[in-house]
A = this chain, B = another copy of it.
Amino acid sequence: MTASHAAPLPADIATLADYERHAAAHIDPATWAHIAQGTTHANRAAFGRWGLLPRPLAPIAQGSTARVLLGQRHDTPLLLAPVAYHRLVHPAGEIATAQAAAAMGATLVASTLSSVTLEDIAAATRAAAQELGLPVPPQWFQLYCQPDPDQTLALVRRAEDAGYGVLVVTVDAAIKRADFALPPGIVAANLVDPAVAAPAPHRAEAQAGPLVFGSALARQAPTWDTIAQLRQATSLPLVVKGLLHPDDARAAREAGAEGIVVSNHAGRVLDGVAPALPCLPAVRAAVGPNYPVLFDGGVRSGADALKAMALGADAVMVGLPQLHALAVGGVAGVAHMLHILRTEFALAMAQCGCTDAGRIGPGLVMPMIGG
């Protein structure tokens, strides 16, 4: 693992919010605007509606943040969410993120829309762990179903061959329109036509054509059948990402998926969408205590992660903070960000008297009146 930059990290970074604050100066303005958009305000505000209840004198000498998910042990229930095109903010792109994740024992969920190939990401993860004498963390691959099912299957085979152990199928962005032009030199490295994110069609053109229903976009959108077919096509565990409704959580289980990720795609796909966090209790109630439910939706601290788990999640994903930390500090930045997050999480667990990440439950939080 080669340090991808030499500059020291800024001295005043103590939280993930500090990375976000610094990141604006390290990222091209157009890219920054694209990253910063999205109505995540409702996602973030939802965390303020629950308060953690510390239990100061509980015995905490021994304990563990580890969590088994889909048969694999995770040092912490904190995963790096799939985020597209890391090279937008750092030349080493997902390679640097993967090295940092391996160094911290965390799982990077590699995106279909990565700017380096999924094979290179997997290899970089293993090499970094080996160089540091650490076990390789579980490797997960995020799958966007492609317009051509053969291309989807080809991605699945490549992921299997590259050693990924879990497939995360993102289902909530199927009919989002492209709205961001990749700068020169950044490509969707995994795809047949890597320039997938073309500029948006000219407005005048946009006025022609069918109105969503009947369009190619809608015809190609994955359905529950797609999930069932994928379930048949691979022996890897499948996790469906992008559900909020308890009926969909139940349907995922019935379609054979091994787990789900409650997520509203950072509020970027559907204007006016419900925040993700308050959806957790009903989802957990729908699938029962033992079905794997992950959460993705505005987590920015260990306390946020603990609240999401208290409300029903088995683990959480963090998305944009990866790019913030990568832009600011490359490998060291992402590693430090993960360290902050997992330390905050362990401290919050300990302060709430939890010594086992598998036993986090609703008693840890208090709903806030008028919060």
What is the interface of chain A, defined by CB distance below 8 A to chain B?
9, 14, 42, 47-65, 75-76, 171-172, 174-175, 177, 179, 203, 206-207, 211-214, 218-219, 221-224, 226-227, 240, 242-245, 247-248, 251, 264, 269-275, 278-279, 301-304, 306-307, 335-336, 339, 342-344, 346-352, 355, 365-371
B223/A59 in contact, CB under 8 A: yes
Q: Which residues does chain B contribute within 8 Å of A42, judged by CB atoms? A: 48, 51, 368, 371
Copies of this chain held together in the complex: 4
A274/B57 in contact, CB under 8 A: no
A172/B54 in contact, CB under 8 A: yes
B211/A56 in contact, CB under 8 A: no
A174/B244 in contact, CB under 8 A: no
B57/A223 in contact, CB under 8 A: yes
Residue from the list B57, B218, B273, B355 in contact with A213, Cβ < 8 A: B355
A270/B52 in contact, CB under 8 A: yes
List 13 contacting pairs A-B, 8 Å CB cutoff, sorted by A: A51-B273, A53-B245, A54-B242, A54-B269, A56-B174, A60-B218, A61-B218, A65-B213, A75-B211, A206-B343, A270-B347, A271-B302, A370-B371
A212/B350 in contact, CB under 8 A: yes
User: When A211-B342, A218-B60 are in contact, do A54 and B244 touch as well, CB less than 8 Å?
Assistant: yes
Q: Which residues does chain B contribute within 8 Å of A47, judged by CB atoms? A: 272
| A25 and B312 alpha carbons, distance in the complex (Å) | 47
A245/B52 in contact, CB under 8 A: no
How far does the Cβ of A276 sit from chain B's closest Cβ, in whole Å?
Answer: 10
How far does the Cβ of A326 sit from chain B's closest Cβ, in whole Å?
Answer: 17
Q: Which residues does chain B contribute within 8 Å of A53, judged by CB atoms? A: 244-245, 273-274, 279
B350/A218 in contact, CB under 8 A: yes
Residue from the list B206, B245, B304, B336 in contact with A207, Cβ < 8 A: B336
How far does the Cβ of A319 sit from chain B's closest Cβ, in whole Å?
Answer: 18
B211/A346 in contact, CB under 8 A: yes
Q: Which residues does chain B contribute within 8 Å of A48, judged by CB atoms? A: 42
A52/B171 in contact, CB under 8 A: no
A351/B175 in contact, CB under 8 A: yes
Q: Which residues does chain B contribute within 8 Å of A224, judged by CB atoms? A: 57-58
| A347 and B269 alpha carbons, distance in the complex (Å) | 9
Q: Which residues does chain B contribute within 8 Å of A218, judged by CB atoms? A: 60-63, 350
B369/A49 in contact, CB under 8 A: yes
Residue from the list B14, B51, B61, B336 in contact with A221, Cβ < 8 A: B61
Residue from the list B57, B174, B211, B335 in contact with A248, Cβ < 8 A: B57
| Closest B residue by C-beta to A211 | B346
| Closest B residue by C-beta to A240 | B57
Q: Which residues does chain B contribute within 8 Å of A223, judged by CB atoms? A: 57-59
A203/B51 in contact, CB under 8 A: no
| A274 and B269 alpha carbons, distance in the complex (Å) | 31
How far does the Cβ of A54 sit from chain B's closest Cβ, in whole Å?
Answer: 5
